[in-house]
Amino acid sequence: MEELSKLILLFFVGSVAGFINVMAGGGSTITLPTLIFLGLNSSLANGTNRIAILIQNISGIISFKQEKYHKFKMSLKLASFTLPGAIAGSIIAINISDILFQKILAYVLIGIIVSLLVPRPKQKKIEDNKQYQMSWFIYPSMVLVGFYGGFIQAGVGFLLMASLYHLMRLDLVYVNMHKIFIVFIYTIPALLIFFFTHNVDLKFGLTLATGNAFGAWWSAKVSVKKGESLIRIILMVAIFIMSMKLLDII
């Protein structure tokens, strides 16, 4: 495949992945195999993908802010707990296979689908994002999310959304808003670790990032306009497809 064709393919794949990542999660299950298909080894693909993740979430944050959906202080507080895990996960990712983690993730994702189908107790929905009904379990869960995100990234959005949805009891629009900010923060040290160990292809990464940013921009706007019901449907479909893929059923 010619170089230009590869770059066009990466932009298109990145656009789809960016839209899916902000709306639900799992976009890296598209981008990582594509990077490997184009000739990158697993570690290089894993690191290169982080450029797209970083830029994608900057785009999503800006778009949510324009729609007046933001609470940076709380997002930053949550994100700070992901940093130790993300650093540890990134270091391990350079030296260990992710096959076992993929299999474990498949069953975790199926559990998330079930949890989304279970009705929550009646309560006042937090529409203005000014107060939280938050369990202290959110903090250790952020450390674990950071570790997984640093290690493999693919599917971390599902785990992060489940944590925020159940432990903070926010609707899914606000969950999405916090999610992209948190992923943006922990991706910074993760990307640096991959970069300084020579596991980043800048040309492929920046092309993919351009597509991811384009998809993320529109996804944030659709997320706000269409609300929780659309996000829930896309989330469950994306999780199901990803879990079946990880179990080699499809």
Q: Indicate the pLDDT class of residue 223, thresholds 50, 70 and 90.
A: low
DSSP label of 121: P
Task: Please give the single-letter amino acid code of residue 187.
Answer: T
Judge contact between 112 and 162, C-beta under 8 A: yes
Q: What is the mean pLDDT of residues 137-162?
A: 86
For residue 54, is pLDDT > 90?
yes
Q: Which of 84-93, 123-132, 174-183, 208-217 is most confident?
A: 84-93
- For residue range 119-138, what is the model confidence (pLDDT) as tens digits? 655 544 444 444 556 677 88
The total number of structural domains in the chain stands at 1
* More confident call, 168 vs 1: 168
- In angstroms, the CA 38 to CA 45 distance is 9
CA end-to-end distance (rounded Å), the chain = 26
To the nearest 10°, the Cα dihedral for 179, 112, 147, 195? -60
Q: What is each CA distance from 172 to 25, 124, 222, in whole angstroms?
A: 12, 14, 13
Q: Indicate the pLDDT class of residue 6, thresholds 50, 70 and 90.
A: very high
What is the dihedral sign for C-alpha 209, 153, 79, 117? Answer: positive
**Share of the chain residues as helix, strand and coil, in percent rounded to the nearest 5:** 75, 0, 25
- In angstroms, the CA 56 to CA 69 distance is 17
Give the model's pLDDT for residue 215.
86
**Least confident among 61-70, 171-180, 228-237:** 228-237
Give the model's pLDDT for residue 18.
85
* More confident call, 211 vs 120: 211
* Cα–Cα nearest to 52, from 193, 144, 184, 179: 184
Q: What is the mean pLDDT of residues 140-150?
A: 92
* More confident call, 119 vs 192: 192
- For residue range 69-113, what is the model confidence (pLDDT) as tens digits? 778 888 899 999 999 999 999 998 888 776 776 677 677 667 767
**Least confident among 62-71, 172-181, 191-200:** 62-71
* Segments forming the whole domain that contains residue 102: 3-246
